[in-house]
Amino acid sequence: MNDFEVFQRNSVDLIEAPQLRQRLDKARAAGKPLRIKFGMDPSSPDLHVGHAIPLLKLRALQELGHTIVLIVGDSTAMVGDPSGRNKLRPQLTREEVETNLVTYTTQAGRILDMARTEVHRNSEWFDAMRFEDVLRLAGKATVARMLERDTFEKRMAAGEPIGVHEFLYPLMQGWDSVMIRCDVEIGGSDQLFNLLVGRELQEREGQPGQVCITFPLINGLDGRKMSKSYGNAILLEDSAEQMFGKVMALPDDVMGTWFRALTRLADAEIDALLGGHPREAKARLGQEIAGFFHGADAAARARESFDRQFRDKQAPTDIPEIAHAWPEGSVPLMVLLRDIGLAPSSGEAKRTIEQGGVKLDGQVVTDPKFALGKPAAPILVQFGKRKYARLS
């Protein structure tokens, strides 16, 4: 694929395609790459494969020689992007943002070549602003323009409150584009309004307005918004086995979107896979995703392990052995599952027990009050479909 085709593939919005072609031609003639912006707000400590969609696009463009400018929105994160929010979003403190920032660039570096990525915190320019500068920025848009955003329209109609600070978010994101002289900004399909504000601000400041390209959003494994808090996310820090196993839990009808958003397979190959057996298509998708982050060998081993465990009804061969520091007496099973790392919380452990998702040596335990003392011999603990431990 040529540069334009890489930009265009799987896009939802492309504003404007003729301008993008012109800029690519001009950049090629001058031997100068385009500056492509992507902003990430550190509003949580973990990135998942939903965040990876634009990052994978950036990686492909980086390989073509373009300059990727990653904006880490430590200032915008304290405002909170109102995109898709039906209610006033709690504002993060600087300390919370700094905590989340610790892992952000590391996780983004699993996809981008950070040595060739230009990284800026937008506090570089926002912390230097005085109040009169903020007022000037606010004066570059009208309330009527802000209310064109569908999220705000819906909240107004529902009588939900809208904070004045929320109107600043699109202006702040747009001002980032002015500060780095962006040629192209990409984002999720919920970001189009913000991207267009950046285009308008650049034109007001005498710069060429950026080309705006959006890409589809994907939901989590249960159809809700992908989020670690929902337990429905594939995290960038997941192991190959976890990634593959979670992909195998996807509904069949979303595979096409995931293939095109998260792999580089050609459309014809994707169509052929989707036209075959759904399980084989899903397994290929799992291998593609796990293979990108962990390598083809690790992805193949993850598939073999999954097949042994579920298709062949065998337990995995690499069950971790845990020597627990047992207190005197017994420990509630839901607390034990949390303490040994099989469950994210005792509440989640309780729900899984009640749903019949916990086994001790192959026997289902459904009593949430069940307690366990130190076993005389190691026991096999299974939590859900994919998590095991041999506990002593």
pLDDT digits (tens, 9 = 90+) for 238-262: 999 999 999 998 988 999 999 999 9
Residue 185: what pLDDT? 97
Would you call 236 helix, strand, or coil by DSSP?
coil
* Domains of the chain with bracketed CATH: 3-215 (3.40.50.620), 238-311 (no CATH), 321-391 (3.10.290.10)
pLDDT bin (cut points 50, 70, 90) of residue 80 is: confident
pLDDT tens string 321-379: 899 888 888 889 999 999 999 998 988 999 999 999 998 877 788 888 888 888 877 88
C-alpha dihedral (41, 44, 48, 50), degrees to nearest 10: -50
Judged by phi (left if over 0) then psi (alpha if -120 to 50, else beta), residue 251 lies in: beta
Judged by phi (left if over 0) then psi (alpha if -120 to 50, else beta), residue 389 lies in: beta
Burial class (CB in 10 A: 0-12, 13-18, 19+), 312: exposed
Specify the length of the chain in residues: 392
CB atoms within 10 A of CB 47: 23
Burial class (CB in 10 A: 0-12, 13-18, 19+), 17: middle
Of 42, 27, 154, the residue nearest 94 (C-alpha): 42
Phi and psi angles of residue 186, each rounded to the nearest 5 degrees, phi first: -120, 155
Phi and psi angles of residue 187, each rounded to the nearest 5 degrees, phi first: -170, 180
Q: Alpha helices, DSSP H only, in the chain? A: 3-8, 17-30, 49-63, 76-79, 94-108, 123-126, 131-138, 143-146, 150-157, 164-180, 192-204, 240-247, 255-262, 267-274, 278-294, 296-306, 333-339, 346-354
Phi and psi angles of residue 378, each rounded to the nearest 5 degrees, phi first: -55, 140
Mean pLDDT of 46-64: 92
Q: Alpha helices, DSSP H only, in 215-254? A: 240-247
Mean pLDDT of 284-304: 95
Using the predicted structure, report yes or no on whether residue 162 has a pLDDT greater than 90. no
Q: What tokens were used for 29? A: 């003639």
pLDDT tens string 92-150: 777 888 887 777 888 888 999 999 999 999 999 999 999 999 999 999 999 888 888 88
Q: Looking at this protein, which amino acid is placed at residue 159?
A: G
pLDDT bin (cut points 50, 70, 90) of residue 206 is: very high
In the chain, the percentage of residues whose pLDDT exceeds 70 is: 96
- Per the model's pLDDT, the better-predicted residue between 19 and 326 turns out to be 19
**Triad 368, 374, 376: Cα angle to 5°:** 125
> Mean pLDDT, the chain, as a whole number?
89
Using the predicted structure, report yes or no on whether residue 86 has a pLDDT greater than 60. no
